[in-house]
């Protein structure tokens, strides 16, 4: 198989491929229940729901679970947790959406050693151990805006394999060594793609792209405006509706703030890390009682500054992939796209 022409698989053969993989890996596929899409372990007889669209919770939790044991301890010893130490079975994440796989690359920059030289073995081991098969979006959702923040409905960032849904079959391209190996070892259910398959895939991608509403977002302008208007009372107005919950941050694929705390009973315990949110009053509160971000206004501003100014400055990345989860699930419809619009005027 050449690099430019990928391969195809008939949809009815997908379970065979996934079953093959599940012999040596834990395979996760999108499934829908009660109207909620989530990634569930593939078992015999399962078919991935490729129509299911975006998962409610972002797949960041595969690498950065909501709660993770850093190590267990008892009276005498301290033992790194199984997830860090044990050689776990590799993972195949099947049909991740391009926005979410792009978020993995952004998380890599936080948890990886490029960030001031510190490794995060928990994250890194799981990340190294995983093959990400990204499924391009033929029908982007109405709250999706990946193209506005540099993404694409057929984006390859963070993906090992990129797949396109061509109705009766998938068109697949191996992007990384891991991804190419994945395809090579499943050769028996794959066929070399025709030049037309790729063309169809391209057509689907461009029509998906065109169907997406553009949010006026210019990275440099927004950053400048955010920096200049740090003290603008506009923030108070934006914060009016905010109720200060952390739903946006917990659903966001790039939000990665965490807390570390101990749980202990009868001389045994564990140190865990759990998701935390900059939207919570306690997040930055000093032991003295002083809080650098005492009200919702500062906390909400922090969320936007972090994504659209601070990370642009420190790592030249926007920490928003345009998945639209925060738009869709904000209890009070505080819409990130409208905030960007607010800071877009020159």
Which residues in 63-102 contact another protein (CB under 8 A)? 65-67, 70-71, 73-80, 84
The correct pick among 5, 46, 247, 317 for binding another protein (CB under 8 A) is: 247
DSSP symbols for 50-108: TTS-S-SS-GGGGTS-SEEEEEEE-SS-EEE-HHHHS-PPPEEEEEE-HHHHHHHHHHH
Query: 70 with 122: CB under 8 angstroms?
Result: yes
Q: Does 41 bind another protein (CB under 8 A)?
A: no
In total, the chain counts a number of residues equal to: 346
Of 92 and 208, the one with the shorter C-beta distance to another protein is 208
The correct pick among 10, 12, 47, 119 for binding another protein (CB under 8 A) is: 119
The correct pick among 93, 174, 277, 323 for binding another protein (CB under 8 A) is: 277
Q: Does 316 bind another protein (CB under 8 A)?
A: no
Rounded to 5 degrees, φ, ψ at 286 are -70, 160
Q: Does 281 bind another protein (CB under 8 A)?
A: yes
Of 214, 238, 212, whose CA–CA distance to 225 is shortest?
238
The correct pick among 32, 189, 285, 344 for binding another protein (CB under 8 A) is: 285
Of 79 and 192, the one with the shorter C-beta distance to another protein is 79
Q: CA 230, 232, 235: angle at the middle one, nearest 5?
A: 85
Query: 252 with 327: CB under 8 angstroms?
Result: no
Q: Does 193 bind another protein (CB under 8 A)?
A: no
Q: Which stretch binds another protein (CB under 8 A): 153-161, 175-183, 195-203, 324-332?
A: 324-332
Beta carbon of residue 300, minimum distance to another protein (angstroms, whole number): 12
Q: Does 327 bind another protein (CB under 8 A)?
A: yes
Positions 3 through 32 that interact with another protein (CB under 8 A) = none
Beta carbon of residue 275, minimum distance to another protein (angstroms, whole number): 8
Please give the Cα distance from 85 to 179 (Å, whole number).
25
Q: Which stretch binds another protein (CB under 8 A): 8-16, 92-100, 185-193, 321-329?
A: 321-329
DSSP symbols for 277-321: -TTSTTTT--TTS--SS-SHHHHHHHHHHIIIIIHHHHHS--S--
Sheet with 169-174: strands ordered across = 36-41, 26-33, 91-96, 130-135, 161-166, 169-174, 7-10, 191-192
Which residue's entry shows tokens 């965490």? Answer: 258
Q: Which stretch binds another protein (CB under 8 A): 91-99, 162-170, 193-201, 234-242?
A: 234-242
Of 122, 102, 120, whose CA–CA distance to 111 is shortest?
120
Q: Does 145 bind another protein (CB under 8 A)?
A: no
Of 21 and 342, the one with the shorter C-beta distance to another protein is 342
Please give the Cα distance from 317 to 300 (Å, whole number).
20
Beta carbon of residue 191, minimum distance to another protein (angstroms, whole number): 30
Q: Does 36 bind another protein (CB under 8 A)?
A: yes
Beta carbon of residue 240, minimum distance to another protein (angstroms, whole number): 4
């Amino acid at each position: 198989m050449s690099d430019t022409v990928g391969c195809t698989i008939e949809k009815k053969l997908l379970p065979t491929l996934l079953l093959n993989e599940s012999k040596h890996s834990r395979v996760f596929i999108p499934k829908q229940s009660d109207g909620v899409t989530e990634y569930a372990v593939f078992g015999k007889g399962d078919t991935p729901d490729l129509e299911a669209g975006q998962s409610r919770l972002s797949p960041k939790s595969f690498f950065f679970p909501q709660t993770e044991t850093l190590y267990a301890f008892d009276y005498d010893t301290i033992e790194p947790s199984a997830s860090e130490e044990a050689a776990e079975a590799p993972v195949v994440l099947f049909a991740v959406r391009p926005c979410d796989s792009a978020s993995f690359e952004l998380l890599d920059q936080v948890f990886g050693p490029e960030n001031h030289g510190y490794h995060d073995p928990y994250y890194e081991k799981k990340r190294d151990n995983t093959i990400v098969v990204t499924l391009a979006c033929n029908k982007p959702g109405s709250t999706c805006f990946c193209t506005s923040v540099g993404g694409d409905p057929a984006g390859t960032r963070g993906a090992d394999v990129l797949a396109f849904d061509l109705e009766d079959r998938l068109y697949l391209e191996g992007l990384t060594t891991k991804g190419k190996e994945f395809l090579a070892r499943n050769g028996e259910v794959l066929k070399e793609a025709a030049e037309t398959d790729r063309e169809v895939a391209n057509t689907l991608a461009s029509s998906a792209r065109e169907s997406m509403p553009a949010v006026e977002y210019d990275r440099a302008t927004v950053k400048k405006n955010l920096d200049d208007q740090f003290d603008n009372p506009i923030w108070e107005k934006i914060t009016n509706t905010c109720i200060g919950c952390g739903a946006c941050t917990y659903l966001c694929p790039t939000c990665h703030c965490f807390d570390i705390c101990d749980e202990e009973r009868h001389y045994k315990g564990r140190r865990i890390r759990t998701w935390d949110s900059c939207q919570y009053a306690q997040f930055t509160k000093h032991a003295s009682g002083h809080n650098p971000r005492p009200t919702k206004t500062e906390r909400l501003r922090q969320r936007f500054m972090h994504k659209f100014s601070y990370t642009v400055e420190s790592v030249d990345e926007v920490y928003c992939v345009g998945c639209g989860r925060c738009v869709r699930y904000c209890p009070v419809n505080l819409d990130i796209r409208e905030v960007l619009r607010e800071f877009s005027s020159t």
